[in-house]
Amino acid sequence: MQAAPPSTARHAIWRSPAKVNLCLRVVGRRRDGYHLLDSVFVPIDLCDELRVTVDAIGRGVPTRIEVQCDRADVPEDASNLAARATAALLAERELGASVRIVIAKTIPPGAGLGGGSGNAATVLRALNTWLGLDIAPPRLRELALALGADVPFFLVGAPARVRGIGEDVQPIADFAALALVVAIPPVAVSTAWAFRAFAELVPSPVASGDEAARLAAGAPPTQALLVNDLERVVLPAFPAIAELKRRLLASGAEAAVMSGSGAAIIGVVPSRADAERLAAEVRTRAPEVAVYAVGTDLPEVDRVGSTA
């Protein structure tokens, strides 16, 4: 009996972090309907895990991308952002391959934490390096923006002021590490709905305050600076989110704000120990809420992805 040829499959494991918005101001709207933002994004050490297998890569090879996830509300077809990122990279180099992506989710969808966008950026950056595709950073940013507004930030993977529709990402130098509580009620908020509702409430946004600029310049994250314009429509429509923000502030958070379009609320606390204490308190009083004590001082391996 003839032995089977050795497998050419390659395997990797990457961690894909979430993000929070310390502030989010809607400062305008383009003619095509997209809202213009001025925000401060910060990655946190709440991570999904991506296990990737690549086989039979080459020119003229058909591309087959399989996605498996441990959450039923994450698509496993070609619409999955990690799958779309993989397809875009291979097409850029006119390559085909068999790719399997297994996603272990910690970051809930619909929470305003950018889990899917982070997955896509992790694939773009790590797969580009791992397979030696040599796609230059400017082109990689173009591919990222085509996938979603938050994806270019995750390519940078460091605290940044993000403006426009997500294409203008300016890293913040010497950003002071923060201890945070991230609390997620059992509801999901559609980003598209949140912006539509905001547009109906404020048809023509005008330039907002300078919160993002001050945070980017090193101002401490006080309640006055943690402003999210989308709270104006999300909190009245989702009382559980509004109550969670009130609960974090009443329990000792120095400041609290909704991340992105929700549903996550973040609370700023003095230390990781304080974050653990507050998270335990919220779990006891509201067991239906997913609560995490997190930090913003990610090691490089978590931002870029590690191979194995």
Identify the pLDDT of residue 164. 95
Q: Detail the DSSP E strand segments found in 59-159.
A: 64-69, 96-104
Q: Domain residues of the chain, as ranges? A: 10-172, 179-295
Helices 272-285, 239-250: axis angle to 10 degrees equals 130
CATH second-level architecture of 179-295? 2-Layer Sandwich (3.30)
Say how far apart CA 15 and CA 12 lie, in whole Å.
10
Coil vs helix vs strand at 160: strand
* pLDDT computed for residue 291 by the predictor: 97
Phi-psi region of 112 (alpha: psi -120 to 50; beta: other; left: phi over 0): left
Residue 207: per-residue pLDDT: 64
Q: Are 21 and 41 in contact (CB under 8 A)?
A: yes
CA distance 67 to 77: 7
In whole angstroms, what is the distance from residue 8 CA to residue 229 CA?
50
pLDDT at 204: 74
pLDDT of 32 = 86
C-alpha distances (whole Å) from 16 to each of 219, 266, 303 are: 28, 19, 7
Contact partners, residue 45, CB within 8 Å, separation at least 6: 17, 294, 295, 296, 297, 298, 302
Give which of 305, 277, 303 is closest to 291, Cα–Cα. 277
The topology under which CATH files domain 10-172 is Ribosomal Protein S5; domain 2 (3.30.230)
Q: Is the peptide bond before 199 cis (omega within 30 degrees of 0)?
A: no
Q: What are phi and psi of 99, to 5 degrees?
A: -130, 135
What per-residue confidence (pLDDT) applies to 88?
Answer: 97
- 150: Cβ–Cβ under 8 A, 6 or more apart, which residues? 19, 41, 114, 117, 118, 166, 260
Q: Which residues are catalytic?
A: 19, 150
Q: Please tell me the distance from the alpha carbon of residue 84 to that of residue 122, in angstroms, as a whole number.
A: 12
**Terminal alpha carbon distance of the chain:** 32
Encode 259-286: b = buried (16+ Cβ within 10 Å), e = exposed.
Answer: bbbbbbbbbbbeebebbebbbebbeeeb
Among 257, 256, 254, 266, which residue's Cα sits nearest to residue 292?
266
Q: Is 191 exposed, middle or buried (0-12, 13-18, 19+ CB in 10 A)?
A: middle
Q: Strand 64-69 to strand 96-104: parallel, antiparallel, or no bridges (unpaired)? A: parallel
User: Token pair for residue 119?
Assistant: 């997955």
pLDDT by position in tens, the chain (length 308):
333 344 578 899 999 999 999 999 999 988 888 899 999 999 999 999 999 999 989 999 999 999 999 999 999 999 999 999 999 999 999 999 999 999 999 999 989 999 999 999 999 999 999 999 999 999 999 999 999 999 999 999 899 999 999 999 999 999 999 999 999 999 989 999 999 999 999 877 766 789 999 999 999 999 999 999 999 999 999 999 999 999 999 999 999 999 999 999 999 999 999 999 999 999 999 999 999 999 998 765 444 444 44
